[in-house]
Amino acid sequence: MRYSFLNNTLSTTNSISLNEYIKKDKDDNHLKVQFVEDLEKILEDFSNDINTTKDTIKNLFLDVEASFEEVSDDIAKSVSKYSFSAEEKLNILGGITRQFVENNRSFIYNSSESKRVLEREAFKKVCDLILNKLKNLVQLNTINNYHILLKFGRGNVKKETLETVKNDSNISDELRKEFLKYNRMKNQDVKVTELINFMTPIYDKLISQLNQLIRELSIDLNKILQ
């Protein structure tokens, strides 16, 4: 009887201990799943912002293309080429980030809890940094668009751009003042070569900056798992 009591006691103790381990294991698995879901949510938000940026930049190019479509097909072809290239670069940014999550989901899942926290925060920081730089690029190219349309636009194109500049709270008062000087200038007939030569370095710089962001993103994502 004595041994029977001892055996029952041990069985009860082991049962309680086993339940605790099972609960702990379930909690840990839940946390692992939650961390992966967090990464996927960050990725989803990043992808949505990339798509919004694509639409915004595409519309900037379309504004220029539509404003001079009656002048020359060469202008439209030049603008369209840069628009396609910019969209391609933005797609690469989204693809690199998506591939990072897909390729490293298992690795992150099996990391320690403390490391998963660091990896999640680092991933969000990288995404936020790229999005912030993209936001600045959009603002810069909005300003460049104003300059193109005010310098070469005529009639309603120039008039509507001046009105937009007056109401754009994202540009400085000093820059607004400079742009509004075009109100007193009479634009001559558009010279196709001159316009294309003016646009080309502006758009080349945009593509170069997007390429730089692609390089930065690749480097920063690789650092997360080091």
- The whole-number pLDDT of residue 71 equals 83
What residues contact residue 76 under an 8 Å CB cut-off, 6+ apart? 65, 68, 69
The residue ranges of every structural domain in the chain are: 34-224
Judge whether residue 21 has pLDDT over 50.
no
Judge whether residue 5 has pLDDT over 50.
no
* Percentage of the chain lying above the pLDDT 70 cut: 86
Comparing 176 with 12, the larger pLDDT belongs to 176
Range in 60-69, 166-175, 186-195 with the lowest mean pLDDT: 186-195
- The whole-number pLDDT of residue 19 equals 55
The candidate with the shortest Cα–Cα distance to 126, out of 205, 213, 184, is: 213
The structure's pTM equals 0.83
Q: Average pLDDT for residues 173-177, to the nearest whole number?
A: 94
Read off the pLDDT band of 191 (50, 70, 90): confident
Range in 3-12, 50-59, 116-125, 188-197 with the lowest mean pLDDT: 3-12
What is the helix, strand, coil percentage profile of the chain, to 5?
Answer: 90, 0, 10
The candidate with the shortest Cα–Cα distance to 159, out of 185, 140, 138, is: 185
Judge whether residue 64 has pLDDT over 80.
yes
C-alpha count within 13 angstroms, C-beta hemisphere, residue 50: 26
